[in-house]
Structure 1
């Protein structure tokens, strides 16, 4: 087994473990990102709501849709949808994670080996110190990331749809409920029994998550085959996320190994815990830098009924950016970032730790096998 294949399998294994551990946070975070509230309109309704019962009701409803804390949202999903609601789309997500991590680490290792070979060749020619520079790390991660995105984007479109399905259905149900209430208020003097029965029947309904096939059918019926590559532009732009992540990680790891070598403690003394911390640091820097792109991507890939307003439906990347800024302000690009930082930093740390330990075990096994054969 080649070094690239070993790294690909290690990355896939680490990705699956991290995905299972952090998936509930991913589900909540995706819902936070795709929650669309017109801040200006909400403020106007709240001002109007200060006088009169109906206005007060609208104000309360509007405030009720504001983002809650991560833990409260997790508990709310469990209460309304059960534990299964936190794991909507887990199967395609695990497949996507294994595929994505495998493809990424495989190509990353190939391009990394090439970059190190070029750096060593330059050193032999007296053109450098033989180490791979920061720009080269960025380029290696970017190329591997682009190949990964083009191959796996359809999977993540389905995952986003499945994670936000109940949220979209709940929005539709809320609008229907408000319509029933408005009809009842307009016919206040008439018999309200039909409206009460209609409302009771409506409130008994609950949004039900759907499966992978239905999600795929819905995407295809809405946008054809190209619908599976929705959000590809911000996703490709987000290639800079792992690029920044791996630049920080590789640079920090190289410095730590150099320090250990200088202290005569040996390169192999980098522990799994230290790799975990380096992975967390790298992912934190990358997430804070690129989070707005992740919000735009999720908005484009989610079912457009969320929000129930044409002004909150997006025709493309630029349209999404302009509308988010216009209706939600700068803060709209950072919805749910706290949840994402916790999820992604922990997840990336697990991936790096598992991957490094797997590769170490493989190298030790290969070295032992070579020693026995000789």
Structure 2
């Protein structure tokens, strides 16, 4: 198989594996995004103007949150933003794996050329894998960031609407206490507020909202932490490729015959690789989600971020370091499982593609005779 067709095969297999993994783990992703964007003040911070809301109740666990969303919003709440997410996953994985394979082929060719000149053993080192994954990841981010801005908005829409309604309720109660409204008038206003339902929130609505808030640049919100987070798949692929190479080399040394890796082994290597990458880069993921979610929540300045640095400073000031690790356990389960499924399916699809390509070449060759 040629390098170009190899790159195409990896691109298509990556897209297919990504879509399947996304559908399976999407409810966890939705809950995780809501956990990341939930603001709760750190202990000792008074609930005064400009500060975050405080809460005596600890946040519910992931399973309870899933059941809560199902009860109040139905399955649609857990799968809000799925359509653009699937498109984004297909585009993201396709772009990433295509460019990853293209630059991987170049890295292998450079290593072979160095070996021919008497430098090195012809294998690609860890640093080269890191650079290859970083370049592919950066190109992927630049192309697909607008899709993920819309997905984040759609996943957190109900959460944002609830906060806005709570702020309006507080304003009505304060107005009633200050102006001396009679109970019937106050109850009427509260009943009117309760009767309001969140308007349908589709992809077009989300795109219009982003554009009205920040113009075309709004679609690239969170681009700075997202670009920095390119190190996540870089670390992931460095661990994965190095582990895979070590496993194959060990089998070749032990003379076990085939150096092929089984699907369950790929699953396990993918899980280990993603776990290491997720734990090390999670704070950046929280900052990215905060920037991409709806900013105008009430009049509280601590809930709005003008940029990456502003978000980091306000999170440290109002929430402390634990704020950067909100929902990490959910993310670990979701991302590790999704990555494992993705790697396993991708490898099987590439094998199937190569088998079909080989058979088609044999058929063409026999017809030419």
Q: Which category of TM-score, normalised to the shorter sequence, fits these structures? A: over 0.9
State the distance in 2 between where 1:173 and 1:184 align: 16
Is the 8 Å Cα contact of residues 167 and 298 (structure 2) preserved in structure 1?
no
Q: 1:243 aligns with which of 234, 256, 265?
A: 234
State the distance in 1 between where 2:19 and 2:298 align: 32
2:6 matched to which residue of 1?
3
2:340 matched to which residue of 1?
349
* 2:66 is the alignment partner of 1:63: no
Moved more, 266-275 or 254-263: 266-275
1:315-366 Cα deviation digits (max 9, x unpaired): 1111111111111101111111011101100111111011000011111222
Residues 1:361 and 1:155: Cα distance change in structure 2 (over 3 Å): same
Q: 2:137 aligns with which of 129, 141, 145?
A: 145
State the distance in 1 between where 2:139 and 2:336 align: 23
Residues 1:209 and 1:298: Cα distance change in structure 2 (over 3 Å): farther
* 2:73 is the alignment partner of 1:77: no
State the distance in 2 between where 1:200 and 1:133 align: 66
Is the 8 Å Cα contact of residues 258 and 267 (structure 1) preserved in structure 2?
no
The Cα shift of 1:266 comes to 3.4
1:117 matched to which residue of 2?
109
State the distance in 1 between where 2:70 and 2:243 align: 40
Question: Which aligned pairs between 1:99-114 and structure 2 lie closer than 5 A?
Answer: 99-114=91-106
Question: Which aligned pairs between 1:262-277 and structure 2 lie closer than 5 A?
Answer: 262-277=253-268
State the distance in 2 between where 1:72 and 1:206 align: 23
The TM-score with structure 1 as length reference comes to 0.91
State the distance in 2 between where 1:225 and 1:152 align: 14
Q: 2:170 aligns with which of 150, 167, 178?
A: 178
Q: 1:362 aligns with which of 329, 353, 360?
A: 353
State the distance in 2 between where 1:15 and 1:316 align: 30
Residues 1:32 and 1:306: Cα distance change in structure 2 (over 3 Å): farther
Residues 1:209 and 1:281: Cα distance change in structure 2 (over 3 Å): farther
Is the 8 Å Cα contact of residues 237 and 273 (structure 2) preserved in structure 1?
yes
1:76-119 Cα deviation digits (max 9, x unpaired): 11111111011111111100000000000000000001101111
* 2:124 is the alignment partner of 1:132: yes
Is the 8 Å Cα contact of residues 93 and 155 (structure 1) preserved in structure 2?
yes
1:12 matched to which residue of 2?
15
Q: 2:186 aligns with which of 172, 187, 195?
A: 195
* 2:25 is the alignment partner of 1:33: no
Unmatched segments (≥5 aa) in structure 1 = 47-58
State the distance in 2 between where 1:307 and 1:23 align: 29
SS in 1 for 2:25: helix
State the distance in 1 between where 2:130 and 2:22 align: 25
1:288-333 Cα deviation digits (max 9, x unpaired): 0000110111111110034751122111111111111111101111
Root mean square deviation of aligned Cα: 1.9
State the distance in 2 between where 1:171 and 1:241 align: 32
